[in-house]
Amino acid sequence: MADLKTGKILIVDDNEDLLKAAKIFLKRHLELVDTEVNPEVLPTLLTNENYDVILLDMNFTRDVSSGKEGYYWLEKILEKDPSAVVVLITAYGDVQTAVKAIKAGATDFVLKPWENEKLLATIYSAMRLRETKKEVEDLKIKQREINEEMNSRYSDIIGKSPAMQQVFRTIDRVAETDANVLILGENGTGKELIARAIHSNSMRKSESFVNVDLGSIAETLFESELFGHKKGSFTDAKEDRAGRFEVANRGTLFLDEIGNLSLPLQAKLLAVLQNRMVSRVGSNKETPVDIRLVCATNQPLYDMVKENRFRQDLLYRINTIEIELPPLRDRLEDIGELAHHFLGVYSDKYKKKVNKISDASLSRMMKHNWPGNIRELQHSIERAVIMSNSAVLQPEDFNLSGQNPRETGNPLVLDHYNLEEVEKILIRKVLKKHNGNITLAASDLGLTRSSLYRRLEKYGL
C-alpha cells in the first residue's frame, strides 16, 4: 500500500461545518485535503490538481433529497477523468440512491454523520483502488507501445517472389476476419512474423499479441501456462496467475509448434477452443475468453492425422485458413534483398562500416540449400559482419560450403572438415527423422532439451 501521507483528497459538500471537521481530521493522514462547498467549480479543481480520491455529497441545497445533483456531478467527474475514484457522501435514508450511483461509476459511499475511523478506512481502500487503476492504465499504455513497436518491426515482410506474393494476398483476405489461421512451413521460414502481420492488420491490432511456444512447455505445466492456476493448486503455485488465454483476451493468441502436442493435451486444447471458456488449475470457475487463434507448425499434420498422432477435429478447428510458407530455397529471388536487409541491421548493431555484399558472395548464397531458411541466412549475415575486416562482405566471410547438398547425394560429404558444420547437419538429420519432435531428437542425440534448443538457436535451425 502506498504511503497515504502523500495522498490528495477533495471533499465537495455544502455543509461547511462538516468540511471543517473532515479537514481537521484528515490532514493528519494526507498530504493534501481540499474542500469545496460549490460543485460548480469542480471542473476547475480537477484541471488544477490530480486527486487520489474525491468525496462527493449526493445532495446540495438546490436539491436536498433526490440525489440528482450527485449523479450529475459524478457523471461530469468521470467524463473529465474516467479513472477518478469517487466516494459518495449520503444520509442513512439515501442508501438505495448511493447504491444506484455506484452502478453509475462511483467507488463507494460513506454515511453521515460518519465515524472518523470508518471514514479513514473507506478512504484508504479507495486510494488503493486508485493506485491499482493507475497501474492497470500504465500497463495498457506499455502494452500499446510494445504492440506498436512489434507491429512496426514486422510491418514490412521482405519478399518479391511469386510464392511470397501469394502469401501476402492471403494475409490481405483473412487479416480483417476472425477466422482461425494455420501457418505451415519449415523452421526458420518466418511463421511468427506472418502471425504478427495478421494481427497487426486485424480488428484486434490494438490488443495483445500473445506468443506461446508449445514445444518448450513441459506437459505437466501445459494447463497452468495456458489456462492459469489458483494459489496453492500445486507446489509452486504461490499466487493466482492468469494463463495465456486470459492474457490474450480480445487479442490474438499464437500457438507455435502445435504439432508437438501429445494427444491428451490436444484434447484439453480442443475443449477450450470449442467452449471458449477456461478454468484455472485448482478452480471450477469458468472464464469466457475472446481470442483470434493463429497456429503454426513444421509438422506434417495431415499425415499425423492418418497415423492417429493428431486429432482430426482439432485440425479442423484450427485451420479455417491455411498459409503455407515457402522455404528459402524456393524463393531464391528474395535472397539478395533479405541479405542486404540483415546487412543494414547488423552493421548498425555492431557499429561496423560494412555496406556491401560482393557478387561472389551472393552467388555462393544462391547455391546454398539454406536448410535453416531465413533464420540461417540472418545468422550467416550477422557472423559475416562480425568477422569481416572490410566494407564489402566476401565469400570467405561466410561459413557456407557453396554447394547444394541436394546435388551431392551425401549430406555428410563436406569440402572441408568443420565440426560445427558436421554437428549442424547431424542435428538436421535427427530432427527430420523424428519429424521435428524436440524431445525425441534430444534423446537420440544424447542432449537435454535445453541443450538442443541452444544449438538450434546457434545454428539458425
pLDDT at 445 over 60: yes
144 in a structural domain: no
Considering the domain architecture, whether residues 394 and 436 belong to the same structural domain is answered as no
pLDDT tens per residue across span 24-44: 999 888 989 999 998 889 888
143 in a structural domain: no
The answer to whether 158 and 337 are in contact (CB under 8 A) is yes
Rounded-to-integer distance, Cα 174 and Cα 178, Å = 8
pLDDT at 386 over 50: yes
411 in a structural domain: no
409 in a structural domain: no
Question: Is 146 or 436 the better-scoring residue by pLDDT?
Answer: 436
State which of 80, 104, 136 marks the end of a domain. 136
Considering the domain architecture, whether residues 110 and 160 belong to the same structural domain is answered as no
Considering the domain architecture, whether residues 169 and 209 belong to the same structural domain is answered as yes
pLDDT of 59: 76
Considering the domain architecture, whether residues 41 and 83 belong to the same structural domain is answered as yes
pLDDT at 281 over 50: yes
Considering the domain architecture, whether residues 179 and 294 belong to the same structural domain is answered as yes
Question: Is 227 or 418 the better-scoring residue by pLDDT?
Answer: 227
pTM exceeds cut of 0.75 = no
Considering the domain architecture, whether residues 316 and 202 belong to the same structural domain is answered as yes
Rounded-to-integer distance, Cα 126 and Cα 14, Å = 22
pLDDT of 134: 79
Rounded-to-integer distance, Cα 302 and Cα 310, Å = 8
Considering the domain architecture, whether residues 211 and 348 belong to the same structural domain is answered as no
Mean pLDDT of 150-175: 80
Taking Cα atoms as reference points, which of 90, 78, 19 lies closest to residue 43?
Answer: 78
Considering the domain architecture, whether residues 166 and 292 belong to the same structural domain is answered as yes
Domain count, the chain: 4
pLDDT at 351 over 90: yes
Give me the CATH number covering residue 353.
Answer: 1.10.8.60
Among the residue ranges 280-289, 313-322, 431-440, the one predicted with the least confidence is 431-440
pLDDT at 416 over 50: no
pLDDT averaged over every residue in the chain: 85
Rounded-to-integer distance, Cα 61 and Cα 66, Å = 11
pLDDT tens per residue across span 64-115: 555 577 788 888 888 888 888 998 887 765 667 667 777 778 888 888 888 8
pLDDT of 283: 87
Considering the domain architecture, whether residues 314 and 199 belong to the same structural domain is answered as yes
Give me the CATH number covering residue 38.
Answer: 3.40.50.2300
State which of 279, 297, 324 marks the end of a domain. 324
62 in a structural domain: yes
pLDDT tens per residue across span 286-328: 899 999 999 999 999 999 999 999 999 999 999 999 999 999 9
Considering the domain architecture, whether residues 397 and 424 belong to the same structural domain is answered as no
pLDDT of 167: 93
Mean pLDDT of 166-182: 94
370 in a structural domain: yes
pLDDT at 369 over 60: yes
Query: What proportion of the chain, given as a percentage, has pLDDT over 70?
Result: 88
In this prediction, residue 147 has a pLDDT band, given cuts at 50, 70 and 90, of low
Quick one: CA torsion of 441, 445, 450, 452, rounded to 10 degrees? -80
pLDDT of 46: 87
Q: What is the residue range of 299's domain?
A: 154-324
Considering the domain architecture, whether residues 292 and 159 belong to the same structural domain is answered as yes
State which of 324, 341, 362 marks the end of a domain. 324
217 in a structural domain: yes
pLDDT tens per residue across span 186-224: 999 999 999 999 999 999 998 999 999 998 898 889 999
Give me the CATH number covering residue 216.
Answer: 3.40.50.300
242 in a structural domain: yes
pLDDT of 435: 78
Mean pLDDT of 432-443: 81
Considering the domain architecture, whether residues 99 and 200 belong to the same structural domain is answered as no
